[in-house]
Amino acid sequence: MADMMKALAKTKPGVGLELIDAPIPVAGDEDVLIKVKRTAVCGTDIHIWNWDEWSQKNVPVPMITGHEFSGEIVAIGKDVDRRLKVGQRVSAEGHVIDLNSEAARAGHFHLDPDTRGIGVNRQGAFAEYVVAPAFNVIELPDDVPYEIGSILDPFGNAVHTAQQFDLLGEDVLVTGAGPIGIMAAAVARQAGARTVVLTDINDFRLELAHKVAPGVRTVNTLREDLHDVIPELGMKVGFDVALEMSGSPIAFKQCVDTLIMGGGLAMLGIPSRPMETDWGSIILKALTIKGVYGREMFTTWRKMLGLLKAGLDLQPLITHQMSYERYQEGFEAMKSGQSGKVVLNWDKAA
Ligand SMILES: NC(=O)c1ccc[n+]([C@@H]2O[C@H](COP(=O)([O-])OP(=O)(O)OC[C@H]3O[C@@H](n4cnc5c(N)ncnc54)[C@H](O)[C@@H]3O)[C@@H](O)[C@H]2O)c1
Ligand SMILES: [Zn+2]
């Protein structure tokens, strides 16, 4: 094994990422070394690319970025006691936690306040090799291809958000048809919602949603008013549950306005700045609001693989697949808004 690898890194403060030669990392005693096969570009990677305020505060440089990945185990640390094998096809939870934290000891792994992110606070997966704690490794079933393995992380956000409220037979609103919103709409359909309405202000994404979540009623809220859609779909008052997945204050307000009294609002989308809101409506409607972070370790992962097995097809969400060498094009596609998931292939270029 050569001891150098290709990697996409933020080498210094500023915009962009650079393809560099970096040493192949070494697995610690409780880690595994993974030969990366596919990585997906996340909104977080775009923030890091743009070197926005959040990245400047949270991402030390130099840093190999990327956290959505799949690959094959090539080395296992000497103290790993999970039944993992060299050659095994895997993905991994990108949130690395302290198993001694109060939250972890209480069994709430995803609520460790000192969570560190692969590709954010520790070396990431946009590389030929990545190290992950064995604890974080997810074994991929044979029938889950590597490209789907690489988008399980955001799929997990969608599933975890969709699980916050009972969707069976309910009228569900999803705001924001980014990759996560589209997947959440598909999950809500699969979970037996009565109706699923998905909003965005980008027609490309609403079109794409029909391929991943057939039967979803899409609404471009620049052209159509949700209040008109409610009677059209036979709802008497409004939605039972809303999943906010845009981070837009306008979409948040539309959720509050169109939920029924006593409705549930799960919030995954992160507003870019503090957001003013009409608390009076929230209180007088007796809404339940839940903030949603990450995925549950590891229940969400088990449910995701279950949903795939049950026939949920995420393939159409992947609109771009290319060699890592064409990463600039991949990032451009993501930034344009004219994409679903963009997947980089880390197999050796021909
Ligand atoms: N809480 C967490 O743990 C967590 C994890 C991952 C992502 N996120 C957040 O979840 C959100 C969704 O992630 P993504 O990767 O799909 O993001 P994305 O940026 O690709 O998608 C957001 C979508 O919202 C749309 N949008 C903008 N304004 C809107 C409006 N007024 N009404 C409806 N839609 C509108 C955009 O056009 C875009 O398609 C983002 O805000 C992201 O930061 C949170
Ligand atoms: Zn991500």
3-state secondary structure of 2: coil
**What pLDDT is stored for residue 281 in this prediction?**
97
**What pLDDT is stored for residue 350 in this prediction?**
45
| Closest ligand 1 atom number to CA of residue 44 | 43
Domain boundaries, the chain: 4-151+314-345, 158-291
Dist. CA 245 → ligand 1 center (Å): 5
| Closest ligand 1 atom number to CA of residue 202 | 37
Residues pairing with 88 in the sheet: none
| Contact residues of ligand 1, CB 6 A cut-off | 43, 154, 157, 175-181, 199-202, 205, 221, 245-248, 250-251, 268-270, 292-294
pLDDT digits (tens, 9 = 90+) for 213-234: 999 999 999 999 999 999 999 9
Once rounded to an integer, what is the mean pLDDT over residues 294-316? 98
Q: What is 69-104 written as a DSSP string?
A: EEEEEEEE-TT--S---TT-EEEE-SEE--TTSHHH
Q: What CA–CA distance (Å, rounded) separates 108 from 293? A: 12
Contact present, 323 and 345 (Cβ < 8 Å): yes
Once rounded to an integer, what is the mean pLDDT over residues 34-50? 97
Burial of 100 (0-12, 13-18, 19+ CB in 10 A): exposed
Residues pairing with 89 in the sheet: 72
Q: CB neighbours (10 Å) of residue 60?
A: 9
**Pocket probe mutation, ligand 1, options 245, 273, 275, 341, max atoms within 8 Å of Cβ:** 245
3-state DSSP percent of the chain in helix, strand and coil, to 5: 30, 30, 40
pLDDT, the chain, mean = 97
Once rounded to an integer, what is the mean pLDDT over residues 190-201? 98
**Architecture, CATH, for domain 4-151+314-345:** Alpha-Beta Complex (3.90)
pLDDT digits (tens, 9 = 90+) for 157-166: 999 999 999 9
Ligand nearest to the CA of 153: 2
Work out the angle at residue 26's Cα, subtended by the Cα atoms of residues 116 and 142, and round it to the nearest 5 degrees.
Answer: 80
| Closest ligand 1 atom number to CA of residue 291 | 1
Contact present, 78 and 42 (Cβ < 8 Å): no
Once rounded to an integer, what is the mean pLDDT over residues 177-181? 98
Q: What CA–CA distance (Å, rounded) separates 203 from 218? A: 9
**What pLDDT is stored for residue 1 in this prediction?**
52
Once rounded to an integer, what is the mean pLDDT over residues 89-101? 97
Query: Within 168-221, where are the H helices?
Result: 179-190, 203-212
Report percent pLDDT > 90 for the chain: 99
Whether 349 has a pLDDT exceeding 70, the answer reads no
- Residue closest via CA to ligand 1's atom 5 equals 294
Work out the angle at residue 54's Cα, subtended by the Cα atoms of residues 330 and 114, and round it to the nearest 5 degrees.
Answer: 105
Once rounded to an integer, what is the mean pLDDT over residues 77-98? 98
Once rounded to an integer, what is the mean pLDDT over residues 316-335? 98
From first CA to last CA, the distance across the chain in angstroms is 18
Once rounded to an integer, what is the mean pLDDT over residues 66-74? 98
- pTM value is 0.97
| Domain 158-291: CATH class, spelled out | alpha beta
Dist. CA 30 → ligand 1 center (Å): 35
Burial of 87 (0-12, 13-18, 19+ CB in 10 A): exposed
Dist. CA 213 → ligand 1 center (Å): 17
Whether 2 has a pLDDT exceeding 80, the answer reads no
Widest Cα–Cα separation across the chain: 65
The answer, yes or no, to whether the previous bond of 316 is cis (omega within 30 of 0) is no
**What pLDDT is stored for residue 348 in this prediction?**
75
Query: Within 310-346, where are the H helices?
Result: 327-336
